[in-house]
Structure 1
Amino acid sequence: MGAVACCAAGGVAWAGPEDALPQKGDRLVLGDGAKAGQPILLDDLPVGGDLVEAVAVDPQGVRRESSRFAKILLVRVAPDQVAEDQRAHAVDGVVALSAICTHQGCTISGWSHDTKRLSCFCHHSEFLPAEGGRVAKGPARKRLPVLPLAKGEGGALMVAGGFLGKPGPGPA
């Protein structure tokens, strides 16, 4: 355990388990609000409900939240609305995506119940979570990376694998 120093062009960079991106076997907990830190259960996420910020917690209890690229958004749509090629990564209509916009790296915080789109308020890109984070409206050109999910004991949401793509800006 502990941190590791690594030389970079800009100086020393520190990395430890809390800096890692979500990994298979992590459980998801609420990231903010009165219930922050509590496990997220399927029953906590109604179909068509609000956007939920989640934090991945490794089996040793380390919260993976030091890196902004580890931020996770959850939405739940009707299971039949999840694109067929994305169903293996969702659980009962719950989809997890990176919260970092692929245009300029802003944090995505908008959710429209009507259009079922996530939106970035920096430059107004919109994404379709049920279609694997596909860009619905630019200037972003790259989809939001999906975080595969699994259902754990008692309906708890678990991470089934790492992000399917690099979070944040970069080539499509």
Structure 2
Amino acid sequence: MDRGERRAQGLDRRSVVMGAVACCAAGHAAWAGPEELLPQKGDRLVLGDGAKAGQPVTLDGLPIGGDLVEAVAVDPQGVKREGSRFAKIILVRVAPEQVAEDQRAHAVDGVLALSAICTHQGCTISGWSHETRRLSCFCHHSEFLPAEGGRVAKGPARKRLPVLPLAKGEGGTLMVAGGFTTKPGPGPA
């Protein structure tokens, strides 16, 4: 079959690709809705990577001034919420008095949880400077202030990082206290 015949039958490259995308999207939606893929109130947090992956995140394991920690929410039945890259969570810990007053209800003893996905073009946030208290995205160098509700400190990002409210569980474990939230605010400071 030549190119003209394929086009006549609607089998051009664009149609095939769009059909595949639609098929995958429909299949994905059939097994889980978006709300089921994201962290939910009552989920517990576990370490997402490294030698201790899967172990509960505890306050003792997150020292003030420590490294950025990747976490995963686990539902009450023990199932990890990893079906969407938008479920990626990063944790940082600052001195409790450094958390903005309007963000203290979302933090636990200075621990803040935010989306690990940059609001500029969807790269994964992977940088943390305790000295400047900024998260950074190495794709395009946006910087965010977790203690100020994920506010943009330096663009090109214009939207805050979504914040995940936390609660303290048994033995100092970290629990999800609600879904990701964003608070409207100014862009780069």
* AA in 1 matched with 2:43: D
Unpaired segments of 5 or more residues in structure 1? 1-7, 167-172
**Corresponding position of 2:110:** 93
Residue 87 of structure 1: SS of its match in structure 2?
Answer: helix
Deviations 1:78-103 (A, max 9, x none): 00000000000000000000000000
Task: Name whichever of 155-164 and 17-26 sits farther off.
Answer: 17-26
Give the structure with the higher percent strand.
1
* AA in 2 matched with 1:40: V
Q: Number of aligned pairs?
A: 160
Alignment of 1:99-114 (within 5 A): 99-114=116-131
Deviations 1:35-87 (A, max 9, x none): 00000010000001000000000000110012100000000000000000000
Give the structure with the higher percent helix.
2
Structure 2-normalised TM-score?
0.81
Q: Is the 8 A contact 2:94 2:130 kept in 1?
A: no
Q: 1:16 pairs with 32, 36, 41, which one?
A: 32
* AA in 1 matched with 2:167: A
Distance 1:52-1:62 versus aligned 2 partners, 3 A rule: same
Q: Is the 8 A contact 2:127 2:135 kept in 1?
A: yes
Q: Which runs of 4+ in 1 moved over 3 A?
A: none
* AA in 2 matched with 1:106: C
Give me the whole-angstrom Cα distance separating, in 2, the residues matched to 1:91 and 1:137: 26
* AA in 1 matched with 2:32: G
* AA in 1 matched with 2:123: C
Alignment of 1:59-138 (within 5 A): 59-138=76-155
Give me the whole-angstrom Cα distance separating, in 1, the residues matched to 2:21 and 2:144: 34
Give me the whole-angstrom Cα distance separating, in 2, the residues matched to 1:44 and 1:37: 13
**Corresponding position of 1:42:** 59
Q: Is the 8 A contact 1:106 1:120 kept in 2?
A: yes
RMSD value, Cα: 2.0
* AA in 2 matched with 1:13: G
Structure 1-normalised TM-score?
0.88
**Corresponding position of 1:3:** none
Task: Name whichever of 14-23 and 157-166 sits farther off.
Answer: 14-23
Unpaired segments of 5 or more residues in structure 2? 1-19, 184-189
**Corresponding position of 1:28:** 45
Higher RCO (CA < 8 A, seq sep 6+): 1
Q: Is the 8 A contact 1:17 1:64 kept in 2?
A: no
